[in-house]
C-alpha cells in the first residue's frame, strides 16, 4: 500500500466473537483507545454465543456508533472474518482476536509499516498473559522458546523484516479482497494459509516487533488440549494440501508423539524378553525420544520463576500443547481435517 509518510487512512477492525464474555469489552476498549487520527470502525462477527457475550455486544454497540455487528451463525472463524471484511468501509483491515488487547500505538505503527514496506500485511508480537494458576502457566508456555515452535511473532527480540506469517495482521483491504480473503474451508490455521497465498502471489508479509498485542490464552487444561488438538488436525490438513511447503518445525510434535507411542508399545516385549539380543538394543533407541523430551521439560521448567507448583504447571502446559498438537497433526495428515472444529470455547 503506497501511503504518504503522515497519512491516516480509514481503518476497519474485524473481530470474530464467540463466547467471550470475560474478554470482549477489554479487547474492544483497546481498539477504541488507539492513538490514531484516521477514521475507524469496529466490525464484530458474532457467533451464537451462550455465555452472555451477545448482551455485551449489544451494550458496546449502544455506547459507540463506530461498532457494528455482522451475524456469523456458523461460528467458523474464516467465514466470520470474510463477512466482516465484506462489510468493511475502509482501505485498511486490522484483524483483532477477542482474547487480545492492542498496544495503544499498534494501528499507527502498523499503517506506517504498510506504507513504508509495501507489504500486503504487517504483524507484530503476541505477548501472552494469564491470571494466576493454569492460565499463567499456559501464558508462560506460549512465550517460551520451547512452547510454540519459535515463530518470530512470539519474540520481541526478533528483527523486523519479511516473515512466513503475520500474527493477526494490519492488511491492505484491496489486496486481501483480490486474493479471495480467508479460505473458508480452513477452520484453523487460516492466518497462516492466507499469508501463504499472499507470499505465493508475490505480496510481502512483514514482521514488525514494535507492534505489541496482549493475548489471553485458554484457562483450563481441557480447553487448551481441545484447542491444540484442533489446531494440529488442521495443520495436518494443510500438509496434505501443501506438502513440503510447510516449515520443518511443524513436524517436531508429531515425531515426539510417534516416539512416545512406539516406546509404550515396545515396553511389554522388551520387559518380558520376547524381544532380546541386538534387536532389543536397537529397538530400545525408541526410548531416546521420551527421555530427551523429559529432559527438555525439566530444563525448561528450571528456567522459569515462581514456586515449584508454578514450574510443574508450566511443564505440564508444554506437554499438553505439544502432545495434543502432535496427535491432532497425525490424524489430520492420515485422514484429513474433515469436520474437525475447535470446541475450546463452546465446551466447559
Closest CA to 234 of 267, 201, 281, 187: 187
**303 against 79, higher pLDDT:** 79
Q: How far is residue 259 CA from its own chain's centroid? A: 26
pLDDT value of position 80: 95
Q: Within 10 A of 19 (CB to CB), how many other CB atoms are there?
A: 21
Q: Is the dihedral of CA 151, 154, 155, 159 positive or negative?
A: positive
- Among 3.90.550.10, 3.40.50.2000, 3.20.20.220, 2.30.140.10, name the CATH number for the domain at 11-217: 3.90.550.10
CA distance 170 to 158: 18
Q: Identify the residue whose cell numbers are 512452547.
A: 147
% pLDDT > 90, the chain: 70
Q: Which residues of 52-85 are buried (b: 16+ CB within 10 A; e: fewer)?
A: ebbebbeebbeeeeebebbebeebbbbbbbbbbb
pLDDT value of position 288: 87
On whether the CB atoms of residues 172 and 122 are closer than 8 A, the answer is: no
- Averaged pLDDT for residues 271-296: 85
**45 against 146, higher pLDDT:** 45
pLDDT value of position 151: 58
| pLDDT over 80 (residue 245) | no
Question: Structure pTM?
Answer: 0.88
Pinpoint the residues of the chain covered by CATH 3.90.550.10: 11-217
Express each pLDDT in 172-200 by its tens digit: 999 999 999 999 999 888 999 999 999 99
| pLDDT over 90 (residue 157) | no
| pLDDT over 60 (residue 348) | no
Q: How confident is the model at residue 5 (pLDDT cuts 50, 70, 90)?
A: low
On whether the CB atoms of residues 216 and 129 are closer than 8 A, the answer is: yes
pLDDT value of position 4: 62
pLDDT value of position 161: 93
**Residue 211 region, left (φ>0) first, then alpha (ψ -120 to 50), else beta?**
beta
Mean pLDDT computed over every residue of the chain: 90
| pLDDT over 60 (residue 97) | yes
Amino acid at each position: 500500500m503506497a501511503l504518504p509518510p503522515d497519512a491516516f487512512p480509514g481503518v476497519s477492525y474485524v473481530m470474530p466473537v464467540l463466547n467471550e464474555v470475560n474478554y470482549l469489552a477489554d479487547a474492544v476498549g483497546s481498539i477504541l483507545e488507539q492513538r490514531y487520527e484516521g477514521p475507524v470502525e469496529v466490525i464484530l462477527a458474532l457467533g451464537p454465543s451462550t455465555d452472555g457475550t451477545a448482551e455485551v455486544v449489544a451494550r458496546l454497540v449502544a455506547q459507540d456508533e463506530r461498532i457494528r455487528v455482522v451475524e456469523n451463525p456458523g461460528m467458523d472463524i474464516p467465514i466470520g472474518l470474510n463477512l466482516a471484511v465484506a462489510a468493511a468501509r475502509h482501505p485498511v483491515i486490522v484483524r483483532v482476536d477477542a482474547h487480545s488487547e492492542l498496544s495503544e500505538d499498534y494501528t499507527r505503527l502498523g499503517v506506517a509499516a504498510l506504507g513504508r514496506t509495501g507489504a500486503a500485511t504487517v504483524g507484530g508480537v503476541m505477548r501472552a498473559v494469564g491470571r494466576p494458576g493454569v492460565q499463567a502457566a499456559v501464558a508462560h508456555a506460549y512465550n517460551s522458546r520451547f512452547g510454540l515452535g519459535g515463530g518470530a511473532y512470539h519474540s520481541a527480540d526478533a528483527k523486523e523484516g519479511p516473515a512466513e506469517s503475520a500474527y493477526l495482521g494490519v492488511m491492505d483491504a484491496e489486496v486481501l479482497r483480490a486474493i479471495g480473503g480467508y479460505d473458508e474451508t480452513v477452520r484453523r490455521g487460516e492466518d497462516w494459509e492466507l499469508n501463504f497465498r499472499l507470499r505465493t502471489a508475490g505480496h510481502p508479509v512483514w514482521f514488525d516487533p514494535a507492534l505489541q498485542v496482549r493475548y489471553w490464552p485458554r484457562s483450563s487444561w481441557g480447553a487448551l488440549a481441545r484447542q491444540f488438538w484442533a489446531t494440529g488436525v488442521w495443520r495436518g490438513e494443510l500438509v496434505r494440501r501443501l506438502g513440503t511447503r510447510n516449515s520443518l518445525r511443524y513436524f517436531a510434535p508429531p515425531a515426539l508423539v510417534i516416539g512416545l507411542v512406539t516406546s509404550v508399545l515396545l515396553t511389554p516385549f522388551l520387559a518380558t524378553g520376547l524381544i532380546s539380543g541386538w534387536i532389543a538394543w536397537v529397538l530400545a533407541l525408541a526410548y531416546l525420544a521420551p527421555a530427551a523430551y523429559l529432559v527438555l521439560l525439566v530444563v525448561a521448567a528450571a528456567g522459569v520463576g515462581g514456586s515449584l507448583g508454578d514450574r510443574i504447571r508450566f511443564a505440564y502446559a508444554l506437554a499438553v500443547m505439544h502432545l495434543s498438537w502432535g496427535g491432532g497433526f497425525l490424524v489430520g495428515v492420515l485422514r484429513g481435517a474433515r469436520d474437525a472444529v475447535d470446541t475450546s470455547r463452546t465446551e466447559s
